């Protein structure tokens, strides 16, 4: 505590309590992963919110010297418990800060993204964390030992997910729960606190990292849910250029090879978090200088303040993916005009063909309509790695990694703008809007937004944040800005209601729309750079391999995996694009 920025709170005279959740470490009771919030508790029923209420009530009445004004914050899983604390609505609870909060473990946090299973994190975490704890303890459990240093080889060799289930044995309760709930059903929705964050009482400060490999989704989307369901509380969001919890450890000046030019973590601590808690817990100072949304924009490396998020001065533009590997960035009107031209050309071709038939008085076999597409073969036996490095643990740096290794693979489609003549700043969620065919009945789609640095780029040595990337060749660097996966069979799922989502098979070779939202971005593509988009159908072993046949992936066998020919379409009504939230100057 003394070695962290928390020493500022000690100097201010704060009383800091760190509490284990029910059933973990030295806490009594039975632990339940992401225990659902129960809004209608009766008699002796409890949840994490009621446990927090009881803990707060005991402390304010038994800890000497407290002023009966309580704040709660926590990172990652404790971020989830912070949200639960807010749901307790104890009258003494004045401020809550969910930080990188676990929010939705099926749609975007930790163990699933849009239904695709985060195999490496899920297995590595639960093979240790999920082991039973018969009695209170101070000793944690170790995970599975792969006895090697290459996670790509290790996870590929193990094969289908059911083989990992066998390694888990029968004692890991939440692993079994995940395997028994392959779809976004009521069981998952009960564990999504966004469904319950109405009528909150404490002030809220949601914090997250733009490059958080674990809970980037949770921070953005918990804040949006709070904003949508509450009108009379102070709710703010902070997003910086951080890995998971980077605002609380490290100085936030770099991630991997990419530099951010300043000590962004220190800026957050001194200018946002500490003043926020001082105001609500000590009635000290002001929060007038803390904006609704404090967002760091990588690329340009600067903090921006907004009265709402996403900002109200963004214009959605289409990054149209062309069959020649180019990207055209068009307004909606320009894009519509282009589509009309494409359709007009097709009609003109058909009229000419019909005229030839009349003139020649022939009845040739009707030719199929020609569509323009780019294709690749997705082979589960050779999945696309998520990084070019060899290591056994998942890195946090992959979120800004160089993507040149992927550009060189035949099963990764790469599209790029020309060199930008002006800066382009994106502020908000990306939408992948793909028109595809697959030769099988299921497939995954990974879309990556990339900043391509100039061929002569190198960091000025005066730019703060050398980190461990000071010797990496940055000329032509392809920086991952945002990447996200969609399990194809869930392309029409994830409604807000209580009904179970039903996966849908693809009809082989039928043009199908795969449209999904990626987590928000805050990044400036600078003049002289390029905007790149990559599309692929595996991201291994970050996510499990799709067998590419419509089946229960958690229980399929190695024999179920098959190759699939994937086509991305480019013309007229079958135009594929990425919808960009462009911030107006």
Using 50, 70 and 90 to split pLDDT, how confident is the model at 585?
Answer: confident
pTM of the full structure: 0.93
- Which helix or strand (DSSP H or E) is residue 317 part of? strand 314-321
Instruction: Report d(CA 99, CA 82) in Å as an integer.
Output: 8
DSSP 417-435: PPPPSS-EEEEEEEEEEEE
Give per-residue pLDDT as tens, 565-580.
999 999 989 999 999 9
Give per-residue pLDDT as tens, 291-322.
999 999 999 999 999 999 999 999 999 999 99
80: region left, alpha or beta (phi > 0 left; psi from -120 to 50 alpha): alpha
- Say what angle helices 119-129 and 173-180 make with each other, to 10 degrees: 140
Return mean pLDDT, the chain.
Answer: 93
Give per-residue pLDDT as tens, 497-541.
556 688 999 999 999 999 999 999 999 999 999 999 999 999 999
Q: Which residues fall within 8 angstroms of residue 60, CB to CB, at 6 or more apart? A: 66, 68, 70, 92
Written as six digits, the tokens of 427 are 């502020």
- Which helix or strand (DSSP H or E) is residue 178 part of? helix 173-180
Using 50, 70 and 90 to split pLDDT, how confident is the model at 366?
Answer: very low
| C-alpha distances in Å from residue 41, one per residue of 47, 54, 80, 85, 497 | 8, 14, 19, 15, 22
- Going by their DSSP bridges, the two strands 254-255 and 258-259 should be labelled as antiparallel
Q: What is the DSSP letter of 123?
A: H
Confirm if 13 and 20 have CB atoms less than 8 A apart: no
Written as six digits, the tokens of 572 are 């007229």
pLDDT at 191: 97
For the chain, which domains are there? 7-103+192-306 (3.40.50.1820), 320-329+373-461+470-583 (2.60.120.260)
Instruction: Report d(CA 13, CA 97) in Å as an integer.
Output: 19
Q: What is the DSSP letter of 540?
A: B
Cis peptide before 426 (omega within 30 of 0): no
Give the 3-state secondary structure of residue 151: helix
Instruction: Report d(CA 235, CA 359) in Å as an integer.
Output: 72
SS (H, E, C) 335-398: HHHHHHHHHHHHHHHHHHHHHHHHHHCCCCCCCCCCCCEEEEEECCCCCCECCCCCCCCCCCHH
pLDDT at 462: 80
Instruction: Report d(CA 507, CA 445) in Å as an integer.
Output: 16
Give per-residue pLDDT as tens, 399-454.
999 999 999 999 999 999 999 999 999 999 999 999 999 999 999 999 999 999 99
Residue 15, number of CB atoms within 10 A of its CB: 13
Beta pairing partners, 259: 254
Confirm if 138 and 115 have CB atoms less than 8 A apart: no
* Mean pLDDT, range 231-247, rounded to an integer: 97
């Amino acid at each position: 505590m003394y070695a962290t920025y928390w020493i500022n709170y000690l100097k201010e005279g704060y009383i800091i309590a760190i509490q284990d959740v029910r059933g973990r470490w030295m806490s009594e009771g039975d632990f339940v992963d992401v225990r659902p919030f129960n809004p209608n508790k009766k008699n002796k029923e409890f949840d994490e919110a009621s446990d927090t209420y009881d803990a707060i009530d005991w402390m304010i009445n038994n800890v000497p010297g407290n002023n009966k004004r309580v704040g709660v914050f926590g990172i990652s899983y404790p971020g989830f418990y912070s949200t639960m604390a807010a749901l307790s609505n104890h009258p003494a609870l004045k401020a809550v800060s969910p930080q990188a909060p676990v929010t939705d473990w099926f749609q975007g946090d930790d163990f699933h993204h849009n239904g695709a299973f985060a195999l490496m994190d899920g297995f590595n975490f639960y093979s240790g964390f999920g082991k039973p704890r018969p009695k209170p303890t101070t000793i944690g459990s170790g995970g599975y030992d792969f006895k090697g240093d290459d996670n790509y080889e290790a996870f590929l060799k193990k094969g289908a997910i059911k083989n990992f289930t066998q390694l888990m044995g029968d004692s890991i309760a939440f692993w079994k729960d995940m395997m028994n709930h392959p779809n976004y059903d009521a069981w998952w929705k009960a564990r999504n606190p966004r469904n319950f964050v109405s009528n909150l009482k404490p002030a809220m400060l949601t914090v997250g990292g733009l490059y958080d490999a674990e809970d980037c989704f949770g921070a953005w989307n918990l804040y949006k849910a709070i904003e949508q369901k509450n009108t009379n509380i102070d709710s703010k969001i902070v997003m910086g250029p951080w890995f998971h919890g980077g605002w609380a450890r490290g100085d936030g000046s770099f991630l991997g090879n990419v530099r951010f030019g300043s000590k962004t973590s220190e800026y957050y601590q001194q200018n946002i978090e500490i003043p926020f808690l001082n105001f609500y817990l000590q009635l000290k100072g002001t929060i007038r200088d803390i904006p609704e949304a404090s967002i760091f924009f990588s690329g340009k490396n600067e903090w921006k303040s907004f009265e709402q998020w996403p900002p109200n001065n963004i214009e959605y533009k289409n990054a149209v993916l062309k069959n020649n590997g180019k990207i055209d960035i068009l307004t909606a009107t320009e894009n519509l005009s282009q589509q009309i031209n494409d359709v007009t050309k097709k009609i003109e071709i058909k009229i000419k063909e019909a005229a030839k038939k009349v003139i020649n008085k022939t009845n040739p076999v009707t030719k199929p309509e020609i569509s323009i597409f780019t294709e690749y073969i997705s082979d589960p036996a050779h999945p696309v790695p998520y990084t070019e490095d060899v290591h056994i643990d998942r890195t946090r740096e992959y979120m800004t990694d160089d993507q040149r290794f992927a550009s060189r693979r035949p099963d990764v489609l790469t599209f790029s703008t020309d060199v930008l003549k002006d800066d382009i700043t994106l502020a908000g969620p990306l939408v992948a809007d793909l028109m595809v065919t697959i030769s099988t009945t299921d497939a995954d789609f990974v879309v990556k937004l990339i900043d391509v640095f100039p061929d002569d780029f190198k960091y000025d040595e005066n730019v703060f944040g050398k980190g461990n990337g000071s010797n990496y060749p940055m000329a032509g660097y392809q920086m991952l800005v945002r990447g996200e996966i969609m399990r194809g069979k869930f392309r029409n799922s994830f409604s807000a209601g209580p009904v179970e989502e039903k996966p849908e098979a693809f009809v082989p070779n039928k043009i199908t729309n795969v449209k999904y939202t990626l987590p928000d971005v805050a990044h400036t593509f600078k003049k002289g750079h390029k905007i790149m988009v990559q599309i692929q159908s595996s991201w291994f072993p970050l996510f499990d391999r799709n067998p590419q046949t419509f089946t229960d992936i958690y229980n399929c066998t190695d024999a179920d995996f098959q190759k699939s020919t994937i086509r991305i379409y480019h013309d007229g009504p079958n135009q594929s694009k990425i919808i960009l939230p462009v911030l107006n100057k």
